């Protein structure tokens, strides 16, 4: 369910007769408390909200960036269906917070409120498919910038000792900002250093693993 509220609003606020059958099927929702209406089909528990907050700060991410396996599995699923744009998740988080503030109101109260009418006007401008009930247009990140960010992060995953100065030397625009907004690079750096341990710690014979003495 991602369009029920919009279709009800379209019928009630604009008298759109094409929505009449939808209105009769869904009008029972009008007396329902907003707190009882699930606006995100892909948010089911607190950990999902935690992931939403992470993505609103650091998207785009991939599943390997997260050490929490539950969040990693969920992210893998979201990445198949949702935009990878940080600005999308910021909009989602804002809408979720707004919806929680309406917990004492019914859906009908929301539709006829100034906030509801304002949302309806913006939702009418949506040119893509909706991903959740209060989805609305947002100023998305330019595709070129998103691709540039994804490429830079893949480099940091594969070569975790890279510094932002190195990225800049490679000709990457906004290298420092992209580098600093990817704290998960520390996770890859730690894994890389752990893999180097056998080469720097002596074995039980006092020789260094990987040294010429071992051959």
| Assigned token pair, 55 | 């993505």
Beta strands in 44-88 (DSSP E): none
Give whole-number Cα distances, 155 to 74, 108, 147, in Å. Answer: 24, 50, 12
The answer to whether residues 64 and 105 belong to one domain is: yes
If asked whether residues 163 and 115 sit together in one domain, one would say: no
Q: Which two tokens stand for residue 203?
A: 């074995």
Residues 117 and 152 both lie in one domain: no
Specify the number of domains making up the chain. Answer: 2
- The answer to whether the CB of 66 falls within 8 A of the CB of 184 is yes
78, 107: one domain: yes
Domain encompassing residue 106: 4-123
Percent of the chain with pLDDT over 90: 86
Tell the residue number behind the tokens 């329902």, with chain if given: 32
Report yes or no on 85 lying in a domain. yes
pLDDT in tens, 168-215: 999 999 999 999 999 999 999 999 998 888 877 656 455 554 444 443
9 and 111 belong to one structural domain: yes
Q: Is the pTM of this model over 0.85?
A: yes
- Residues 97, 158 within the same domain: no
Interval 39-91: pLDDT, tens: 999 999 999 999 999 999 999 999 999 999 999 999 999 999 999 999 999 99
């Amino acid at each position: 369910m991602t369009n029920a509220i919009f279709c009800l609003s379209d019928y009630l606020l604009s008298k759109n007769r094409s929505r009449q059958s939808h209105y009769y099927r869904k009008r029972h929702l009008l007396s329902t408390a907003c707190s009882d209406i699930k606006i995100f089909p892909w948010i089911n528990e607190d950990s999902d909200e935690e992931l939403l907050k992470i993505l609103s700060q650091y998207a785009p991410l991939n599943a390997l960036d997260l050490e929490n396996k539950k969040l990693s599995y969920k992210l893998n699923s979201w990445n198949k269906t949702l935009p990878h744009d940080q600005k999308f998740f910021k909009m989602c988080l804002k809408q979720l917070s707004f919806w929680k503030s309406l917990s004492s109101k019914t859906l009908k109260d929301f539709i006829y409120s100034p906030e509801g009418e304002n949302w309806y006007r913006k939702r009418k401008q949506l040119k893509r498919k909706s991903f959740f009930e209060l989805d609305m247009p947002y100023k998305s990140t330019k595709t070129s910038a998103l691709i540039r960010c994804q490429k830079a992060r893949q480099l940091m995953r594969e070569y975790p000792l890279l510094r932002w100065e190195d990225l800049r030397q490679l000709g990457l625009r906004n290298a420092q900002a992209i580098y600093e907004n990817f704290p998960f690079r520390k996770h890859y750096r730690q894994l890389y250093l752990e893999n180097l341990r056998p080469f720097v710690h002596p074995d039980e014979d006092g020789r260094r693993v990987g040294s010429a003495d071992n051959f």
